[in-house]
Amino acid sequence: MKIGVVTFPGTLDDRDAARAVNHAGGQAVALWHNDADLRGVDAVILPGGFSYGDYLRCGAISRFSPVMEPIIKAALDGMPLLGICNGFQVLAEAHLIPGALTRNHELHFLCRDQKLTIENTNKAWTSSFTHGQEILIPLKNGEGAYMCDDNTLAMLEGEGRIIARYVGENPNGSRNLIAGITNERGNIVGLMPHPEHAIDSLTGPSADGLGFFTSVLNSFLAGSVK
Amino acid sequence: MSLDTVAKAQENPDASQPFAELGLKPDEYARIKEILGRRPTSSELAMYSVMWSEHCSYKSSKVHLKQFGEKAVKTDALLVGIGENAGVVDVGQGYAVTFKIESHNHPSFIEPYQGAATGVGGIVRDILTMGARPIAVMDPLRFGPADAADTRRVLPGIVAGVGGYGNCLGLPNIGGEVVFDETYLGNPLVNALCVGVMKHSDIKLAKAAGAGNLVVLYGAKTGGDGIGGVSVLASETFESKGPAKRPAVQVGDPFVEKVLIECSLEIFAEDLVVGIQDLGGAGLSCATSELASGGSGGMKVQLDKVPLRDPSLSPEEILMSESQERMCAIVEPSKIDRFLEICEKWDVTVTVIGEVTDGNHLEITWNDELIVDVPPRTVAHDGPVYNRPLAQPAYIDAVAKEVINVPLPTTAVEITSTVLKLAATPNLADKSWVTDQYDRYVQGNTIQSQPDDSGMVRIDEKTHLGVAVATDANANWSYLNPYEGAKLALAEAARNIATAGAKPLAVTNCLNFGSPEDPGVMWQFAESVRGLADGCLEMGLPVTGGNVSFYNQTGSVAILPTPVIGVLGVIDDVRTRTPMSFDRAGLDLYLLGETHSDLAGSEWAYLHNQRGGVAPVADLQREMRLIEFLVAGRTKKIFAAAHDLSQGGLAATLTEMVLRHNIGATVQLDNVGLMLLSETPGRVVVAIDPSQSAALTQEAPAQKIALTKIGVTGGDSLVINDAKISLTELRQAHTSTFKKLFG
Amino acid sequence: MAKIVVDVMLKPEILDPQGKAVAAALPRLGFTFAKDVRQGKRFEIEVDGEPTAAQLAEVEKAAEKLLSNPVIENFTVRVEK
Amino acid sequence: MAKIVVDVMLKPEILDPQGKAVAAALPRLGFTFAKDVRQGKRFEIEVDGEPTAAQLAEVEKAAEKLLSNPVIENFTVRVEK
Ligand SMILES: Nc1ncnc2c1ncn2[C@@H]1O[C@H](COP(=O)(O)OP(=O)(O)O)[C@@H](O)[C@H]1O
Ligand SMILES: [Mg+2]
């Protein structure tokens, strides 16, 4: 399975995301923000970082990169798309998922090992987990507070579209402790913490993050993607 | 004032010039005239003034720093030595590592966020310039008292600035220091270290060789930032059409720097440059003169081609501007098209501003008029050298006579309150409030970071080769005895590398001192340099580079002498490192090294307002045996954990160890007060599986290393003799200080 | 040369931690005038000559598409002398 | 209830990376009106009743002390209806 990893100017975790894909047994394909096509990939990851310096609003400028056009088209067609951190912000700015990410409530960048529960396991990116499974992966962001209006929140809760929730003290002020959500169809996931930094316990707090990458591979092998 | 040209300088040799306002002494000005055989043009004057400033020319420190070269051990590990932007060390497997610390103290006091941010930006460009990919940063910081109002202004801004810039560059922050002392009030120290890695064949140097090669400026446009690093007044002495005031602060754009890094690495990978230099202090004055004198000496630059952010800048200002995020490369004409293409890909502004010439003149024109014609070496390297008067300050003998008289705990209640007090004191308290604002995971190779003894990153994913770096300074000891203080800081940094099992390889330093014009400060400086040079010689470690920051003082009060020493080590397989603490019960705890009555300069004495006494004397032979033992023990897998003792002594070390994985310990100590609080150097606590005791008890004495069994791991408290401190209470004390102080 | 100003504020129902932090800090410094503080963004856009209606319409579009995020923010556009 | 607005902008000579990024992004989206863009902050301060001169003077002080960083920023205070 070929998984595209997009590099925008200012993207930082592209190498890590590619490493995680390869580690899980997939084949990472580098995609450049100016590319007009997706080089035949089966899924795409928008990695973390400070694309365009996170100026204006995180993800606001990169959301209009040329590569986003084919990505949006394919994702609306069912291609698995994972936005991590800055990638999540890009997804929100592109309105591929509802809501927005705003400044952490304590107004600092925060990097810490974060416990999450996985609350939705039937989607492209989380099928390797069990429902309610607790995982530990790094969280690192300055604007990670998930915000949406009450109706959207009720809808997300009602439809089980919350992929992962923070355990314990709210790290950034996200509504309902939301760490990640999915679109209605379940192929697009935005996740604030960083599974690509938790693929082995040598360099991360655990290997729990690998599950996101094996999920998409397994779903692909099982033919359930798209 | 109209454009001052070389022709005009010859025509009216006696025109008066504002050399004093630019920070030049009359004799320095006279030297410039002598070199040129005429008065300098205003542009030349601008160049000499910034390049001959203390900051760029090291005029007060040079005579001392040369010991680092003279006393150095000969080592093949040093691929590039002092003098280049950063030294380069061979770490094996074809890899070379470069690292360096720099200060950005004064700007960080004026504007904490931007000062610290641009400090990080500057050191990262130094590392990039060597051809290396930057892979990690560290930030040794020092502040006034933790509860002082100005510290509350300065510290959050500096921390946010270090994080704001470093995080945006995608560089993991793998360590640093946060230290508080009255003398840093008004003089915070912001030192930033960067590590980079490359293959041997990729090393780049700052030299402009080959007549006909092009001089290329790329990166951010030039603005009026930081003009006249030597004196903010400087720019105002030149009349210009622009706004009356040039910005007193440089503002960084980390996004531009991130793009500049990736763009440069792509350019390096295709071997498109002959030489390269970042633009830091003294901007284009420095880059052009250093590149030219690093080559054969000839260069022509058309200054009017420099892309400007502020079109009102005069040539003098352009030469002095310290605008961030710029690089200058020497490129063969056949390679320029590809060079421009890569810059375009990354959307980086790039301009050919000149070419390398035969001969040894650096000629700069402004709209075809010659405004600079100098031998570049005289600007870059032949600056004034001062042998400033030095004298041992009177306080040295006085403090040596002071007898430390602090309460030493004996009862369970006293032990408990002492341990809790130390755990919570700002200098020893948990630094997560700071380090949580730094990305330590990016790049996916961080093996160790806060709160480990050293930062460690993997540099090869297949072989698991890695490097470790630690920075240390003990200004209290340096105050009592600068010579020993420097050696002790060196030993501590090396030990912090070795506890993990990495082998120390090379040294960098950032020497933060008061005014060199004060003979007492100059003596502290000279003694520190002598101590560091002697220490490095004895330990067989080369100094690969560093930085001097003088004038850190408020009125007549100088900061404590603060030589921050960085040591880099190598570890052949990061998976086998010895962790800083234990994650299970049932291990034996041993103290390696002897404990003497070393309370002078200790944290406990400081907490009791006692700053006198006699600093410990460094025993580097003993330190080296200990280091070797720790490195060998890692290979033989003897240690389950190892953590060194420094500020706060055994009390602090035990606190940090039990809290790391929330596994308690029970220890039994004779002479408990001194054992807990003395800061005798050369000590490490190790945890071992009982099955390894034989190996330990045989080998330590064989290496003449004192060994004391102090206890066992396990439980949910730290038990010291009769005192039982719950981990919950200890954690509360250790972790609440910064939150309380800074929100 | 004229200046077009775009002000972007978080919608009233969206939590504004920056505004809240400022509102909390003011009384600590002895300033008691504020009942509430909201913090937003101000863009100053320089254009050549007098802004035309067409230009302002373009700015409106840009404000909606790029300068603000309609999910959480409102904006206003005006000309400033 | 009245609103006092404090606009805080980077001084003209200070580099504004955010404004620069916006100015660069606009033409990529087909918006060509901007010669230059600067990005700053806007504070909306709610006060009880009509703001008095004394109150405005206080706001000026707060703007200088807290809302802006005088080393790199300028500010203006005004009442908005
Ligand atoms: N400003 C900082 N930035 C990053 N890490 C820091 C900073 N200050 C302290 N640390 C980290 O916190 C830990 C404890 O610091 P310290 O007590 O000074 O260590 P040591 O005594 O071993 O030198 C170390 O891992 C150190 O690198
Ligand atoms: Mg240590």
- From the list B249, B316, B322, B248, the residue with the least C-alpha distance to B282 is B322
B contact chains, 3+ CB pairs < 8 A: A, D
Given the structure tokens 């579209």, which residue do they identify? A161
Contacts of residues B605-611 at CB distance under 8 Å and 24 or more positions apart, as own/partner, are B605/B404, B605/B406, B606/B427, B606/B476, B607/B421, B607/B422, B607/B425, B608/B406, B608/B407, B610/B402, B610/B404, B610/B405, B610/B406, B611/B399, B611/B476, B611/B479
What pLDDT shows up at residue B326?
A: 96
Give, for A145, the enclosing helix (H) or strand (E).
Answer: strand A145-147
Any idea what the CATH number is for the domain that residue C62 is in?
3.30.1280.10
Give B539 Cα–ligand 1 centroid separation in angstroms: 24
Select the residue of B256, B439, B445 nearest A140 (Cβ to Cβ).
B439
- Residue B419 tokens read as 């341990």
pLDDT above 70 for A224:
no
B390-440: per-residue pLDDT in tens?
A: 999 999 999 999 999 999 999 999 999 999 999 999 999 999 999 999 999
User: Is A226 domain-assigned?
Assistant: no
Q: Are strands A81-84 and A134-141 parallel, antiparallel or unpaired?
A: unpaired
Kindly list the distances between the CA atom of residue B2 and the CA atoms of B316, B351, B447, in Å, as whole numbers in the listed order: 12, 26, 59
- Residue B551 tokens read as 């004038």
CA-closest residue to ligand 1 atom 8: B177
pLDDT above 60 for B244:
no
Which atom in ligand 1 lies closest to the alpha carbon of residue B141? Answer: 1
Select the residue of C17, C67, C72 nearest A100 (Cβ to Cβ).
C72
Give B403 Cα–ligand 1 centroid separation in angstroms: 30
CA-closest residue to ligand 1 atom 14: B451
Confidence of residue B227 (pLDDT cuts 50, 70, 90): confident
pLDDT above 60 for B182:
yes
Arithmetic mean of pLDDT over chain B: 93
pLDDT above 70 for B228:
no
Find the domain containing C27 and state its range. Answer: 3-80
B121-160: per-residue pLDDT in tens?
A: 999 999 999 999 999 999 999 999 999 999 999 999 999 9
In chain A, whose CA is at the least distance from the CA of C11?
Answer: A149
Any idea what the CATH number is for the domain that residue A178 is in?
3.40.50.880
Read off the amino acid at residue A142: G
Average pLDDT over residues B174-184: 97
In chain A, whose CA is at the least distance from the CA of C13?
Answer: A149
A53 has a chain D CB within 8 A of its CB: yes
CB B196 within 8 A of CB B133: yes
Q: Are strands B543-549 and B503-512 parallel, antiparallel or unpaired?
A: parallel
Which atom in ligand 1 lies closest to the alpha carbon of residue B644? Answer: 22
- Work out the widest C-alpha separation in chain C, in whole angstroms: 47
> What value does the CA radius of gyration of chain B take, rounded to a whole number of Å?
26
Distance from CA of B652 to the nearest CA of A (A): 23
Per the model's pLDDT, the better-predicted residue between A113 and B82 turns out to be A113
pLDDT above 60 for B274:
yes
Ligand nearest to the CA of residue B564, numbered in listed order: 1
pLDDT above 80 for B118:
yes
Chain A residues with CB inside 8 Å of B346's CB? 9
User: Is A6 domain-assigned?
Assistant: yes
Percent of chain C at pLDDT above 70? 99
What pLDDT shows up at residue B230?
A: 40
- Does the C-beta of B177 come closer than 6 Å to ligand 1? yes
What pLDDT shows up at residue B231?
A: 40
What pLDDT shows up at residue B13?
A: 86
What pLDDT shows up at residue A4?
A: 98
pLDDT above 60 for B237:
no
d(CA B41, CA B8): 8
Kindly list the distances between the CA atom of residue B722 and the CA atoms of A28, B410, B648, in Å, as whole numbers in the listed order: 58, 10, 20
Kindly list the distances between the CA atom of residue B410 and the CA atoms of B655, B664, B675, in Å, as whole numbers in the listed order: 18, 21, 11
Given the structure tokens 């500049």, which residue do they identify? B260
Chain A residues with CB inside 8 Å of B447's CB? 202-203
User: Is A48 domain-assigned?
Assistant: yes
B670 has a chain A CB within 8 A of its CB: no
- Does the C-beta of B655 come closer than 6 Å to ligand 1? no
Which atom in ligand 1 lies closest to the alpha carbon of residue B448? Answer: 25
A24-51: per-residue pLDDT in tens?
A: 999 999 999 999 999 999 999 999 999 9
Chain D residues with CB inside 8 Å of C46's CB? 34-37
Average pLDDT over residues B513-522: 96
- Residue B322 tokens read as 């310290």
The answer to whether residue B608 is catalytic is no
What pLDDT shows up at residue B566?
A: 98
pLDDT above 70 for A226:
no
Average pLDDT over residues B675-691: 98
Choose the mutation target among D15, D26, D28, D41 for the interface with A, i.e. most A CBs under 10 Å: D28
Sign of the torsion formed by the C-alpha atoms of B359, B365, B369 and B374: negative
B260-292 burial, b for 16+ CB within 10 Å, e for fewer? Answer: bbbbbbbbbeeebbbbbbbbbbbbbbbbbbbbb
d(CA B14, CA A210): 74
d(CA B567, CA B502): 11
d(CA D49, CA D3): 9
pLDDT above 50 for A64:
yes
Ligand nearest to the CA of residue B448, numbered in listed order: 1
CB B539 within 8 A of CB B490: yes
Distance from CA of D70 to the nearest CA of C (A): 17
B266 has a chain A CB within 8 A of its CB: no
d(CA B248, CA B235): 10
In chain D, whose CA is at the least distance from the CA of A9?
Answer: D21
Give B733 Cα–ligand 1 centroid separation in angstroms: 18
- Residue B664 tokens read as 């308690």
The answer to whether residue A85 is catalytic is yes
CB atoms within 10 A of CB B497: 31
CB B583 within 8 A of CB B687: no
Select the residue of D10, D15, D21 nearest B309 (Cβ to Cβ).
D15
For the sheet with A81-84, list strands across it: A27-32, A2-7, A43-46, A81-84, A188-191, A178-182, A162-166, A110-118, A134-141
What pLDDT shows up at residue B242?
A: 40
CB contact under 8 A, B111 and D72: yes
CB atoms within 10 A of CB A91: 31
A91 has a chain C CB within 8 A of its CB: no
What pLDDT shows up at residue D48?
A: 87
Find the domain containing A209 and state its range. Answer: 2-221
CB D14 within 8 A of CB A49: no
Given the structure tokens 């001089």, which residue do they identify? B215
Confidence of residue B232 (pLDDT cuts 50, 70, 90): very low
Select the residue of D17, D25, D39 nearest A61 (Cβ to Cβ).
D25
CA-closest residue to ligand 1 atom 18: B177
Exposed, middle or buried: residue B471 (CB in 10 Å: 0-12, 13-18, 19+)?
buried
d(CA B10, CA B15): 10
CA-closest residue to ligand 1 atom 3: B176
C24 has a chain A CB within 8 A of its CB: no
In chain A, whose CA is at the least distance from the CA of D17?
Answer: A55
Exposed, middle or buried: residue A197 (CB in 10 Å: 0-12, 13-18, 19+)?
buried
Kindly list the distances between the CA atom of residue D45 and the CA atoms of B472, C14, C27, D79, in Å, as whole numbers in the listed order: 47, 16, 13, 9
pLDDT above 90 for B204:
no
d(CA B615, CA B680): 9
Q: Are strands A2-7 and A43-46 parallel, antiparallel or unpaired?
A: parallel
Q: List phi, psi (to 5°) of B168.
A: -70, -25
Sign of the torsion formed by the C-alpha atoms of D15, D17, D18 and D23: positive
Average pLDDT over residues C20-46: 94
d(CA A181, CA A168): 18
What pLDDT shows up at residue B602?
A: 97
What pLDDT shows up at residue B349?
A: 97
d(CA B44, CA B486): 39
The count of domains in chain D is 1
Tally of residues, chain D = 81
pLDDT along chain D (81 residues), means of 10: 92 92 94 95 92 91 94 93 73
Kindly list the distances between the CA atom of residue A20 and the CA atoms of A208, B466, B481, D43, in Å, as whole numbers in the listed order: 11, 20, 51, 43
Average pLDDT over residues B631-646: 95
pLDDT above 70 for C47:
yes
pLDDT above 60 for B236:
no
Segment among B266-270, B556-560, C47-51, D36-40 with least mean pLDDT: C47-51
- Residue B284 tokens read as 């284009």
- From the list B231, B230, B235, the residue with the least C-alpha distance to B57 is B230
- From the list B277, B282, B274, the residue with the least C-alpha distance to B250 is B282
> CA triplet D74, D80, D81: central angle to 5 degrees?
175
What pLDDT shows up at residue A225?
A: 55
D74 has a chain C CB within 8 A of its CB: no
Percent of chain B at pLDDT above 90? 86
In chain D, whose CA is at the least distance from the CA of C37?
Answer: D45
B577 has a chain A CB within 8 A of its CB: no
Average pLDDT over residues B553-576: 96
What pLDDT shows up at residue A122?
A: 80
Confidence of residue B281 (pLDDT cuts 50, 70, 90): confident
- Residue B131 tokens read as 């051809």
The answer to whether residue B104 is catalytic is yes
Exposed, middle or buried: residue D5 (CB in 10 Å: 0-12, 13-18, 19+)?
middle
Which atom in ligand 1 lies closest to the alpha carbon of residue B451? Answer: 25
B653 has a chain A CB within 8 A of its CB: no
Select the residue of D12, D16, D71 nearest B248 (Cβ to Cβ).
D71
> CA triplet D14, D17, D19: central angle to 5 degrees?
95
CB atoms within 10 A of CB B103: 27
The count of domains in chain A is 1
CB atoms within 10 A of CB B632: 14
What pLDDT shows up at residue B246?
A: 62
- From the list B163, B154, B319, B153, the residue with the least C-alpha distance to B252 is B163
Segment among B78-92, B138-152, B555-569, C60-74 with least mean pLDDT: B78-92
Which atom in ligand 1 lies closest to the alpha carbon of residue B493? Answer: 23
Average pLDDT over residues B60-75: 89
Chain D residues with CB inside 8 Å of A55's CB? 17-18, 21-22, 39
Select the residue of D12, D15, D24 nearest B243 (Cβ to Cβ).
D12
> CA triplet B683, B687, B693: central angle to 5 degrees?
100
d(CA B636, CA B156): 43
**A-contacting residues in B 327-366 (Cβ below 8 Å):** 346-347
Report how many helices (DSSP H) and strands (DSSP E) chain B contains, helices first.
26, 28
pLDDT above 60 for B238:
no
pLDDT above 50 for A126:
yes
Confidence of residue B84 (pLDDT cuts 50, 70, 90): confident
Choose the mutation target among B159, B348, B442 for the interface with A, i.e. most A CBs under 10 Å: B442
C37 has a chain D CB within 8 A of its CB: yes
Give A113 Cα–ligand 1 centroid separation in angstroms: 18
CB contact under 8 A, C72 and A147: yes
